[in-house]
């Protein structure tokens, strides 16, 4: 039996993933908020505040899931 390799990802990977996803989310939030605010400025302000909050929460969510072995395959 061959020894199993441990798969790890660095915290920076989680941060880059969170930032790339939230960049997409930023644009979507602006588009969704605009009809409610009727203001580009207000929509952007709301989206930027949400962006930082969601990056923080996504980063921690990703780090917790990194520690969970369920669903990971080692080849």
3-class secondary-structure state, position 9: coil
pLDDT at 14 (0 to 100): 77
Is pTM beyond 0.75 here?
no
CB neighbours of residue 30 within 10 Å: 19
Domains in the chain: boundaries: 11-66
What average pLDDT does the chain have?
A: 85
Q: How far is Cα 27 from Cα 23, in angstroms, rounded to an integer?
A: 7
Alpha-carbon distance of 57 to 25, in angstroms, equals: 14
Predicted pLDDT at 44? 96
Burial class (CB in 10 A: 0-12, 13-18, 19+), 72: exposed
Task: Compute the CA torsion angle 2, 69, 18, 26 (nearest 10 deg).
Answer: 130
């Amino acid at each position: 039996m061959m020894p199993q390799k441990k798969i790890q990802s660095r915290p920076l990977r989680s941060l880059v993933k969170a930032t790339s996803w939230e960049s997409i989310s930023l644009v979507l939030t602006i588009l969704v908020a605009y009809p409610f605010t009727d203001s580009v400025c207000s929509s952007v302000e709301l989206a930027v505040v949400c962006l930082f909050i969601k990056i923080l929460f996504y980063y921690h969510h990703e780090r917790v899931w990194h520690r969970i072995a369920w669903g990971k395959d080692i080849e």
